[in-house]
Amino acid sequence: MGNKQTIFTQEQLDAYQDCTFFTRKEILRLFYRYRDLAPQLVPLDYSDKPAVTLPYELIGSMPELKDNPFRQRIAEVFSEHGDGNMTLDDFLDMFSVLSEMAPRDLKAYYAFKIYDFNNDDYICKSDLEKTVNKLTRNELTPEEVSLVCEKVIYEADVDNDGKLSLADFQHMIIRAPDFLRPHSCWAQLHAEDLYSLIVTPTDI
């Protein structure tokens, strides 16, 4: 119990609480999760903001991200330099956005960034192709992939510029019935372990 005070100052904890969707306990829990990735790198004292970054290889091996086809993109989007290496702040940011309490708008914004592979602020055809191939593990033929991409652009591109802007994306995603919500039953069942990691406050 005593180490609670030494990791973060009270101020830091308060600030983190204001900036994320987590409570104190969850923040500490996430800190320990972060530290467990590389105990030799991450100090136990964060009150003076040490500049520690964990490489993507460690972040991507977390059970929450391990099976996600977009894990690299997620890490890149949330990392400070876009290389997937994360500081604790980035780490907290990522889980805050991915947590259940985050509002739809915020998630949609980050989802757009995640799907925007080449960072040009538009989801263009190459981005879509990458997304499809990641989602289907390259099971579709190139013709099928291009058909799907054309259909997506046809459906969602409101201003007819051949690519999806953030506005197009939001226009489409806001109508989606189950955007970023656990809907398929088996995912829900298996999601429990992850869920407990992120949300359940347990006393440390």
Q: Decide if residue 110 touches other proteins (CB under 8 A).
A: yes
Is residue 76 within 8 Å of 59, Cβ to Cβ? no
149: helix, strand or coil: helix
**Shorter beta-carbon distance to other proteins: residue 167 or 204:** 167
The stretch near other proteins (CB under 8 A) out of 1-9, 32-40, 63-71 is 63-71
Q: What angle do CA 98, 102, 106 make, to 5 degrees?
A: 90
The stretch near other proteins (CB under 8 A) out of 1-9, 28-36, 37-45, 48-56 is 48-56
Give how far Cα 80 sits from Cα of 44, 73, 91, 130, Å: 22, 13, 10, 23
Question: How many Cα neighbours within 13 Å face the side chain of 195?
Answer: 10
The contact pattern for other proteins, residues 142-181, with x = CB under 8 A and - = no contact, is --x--xx--xx--xx-xxxx---xxxxxxxxxxxxxxxx-
**Shorter beta-carbon distance to other proteins: residue 67 or 203:** 67
Kindly identify the residues of this chain, within the stretch 2-41, that bind other proteins according to CB under 8 A.
14-21, 23
| Residue 185 token pair | 């039953």
CB of 39 to other proteins, least distance (A): 20
Is residue 72 within 8 Å of 84, Cβ to Cβ? yes
Q: Decide if residue 100 touches other proteins (CB under 8 A).
A: yes
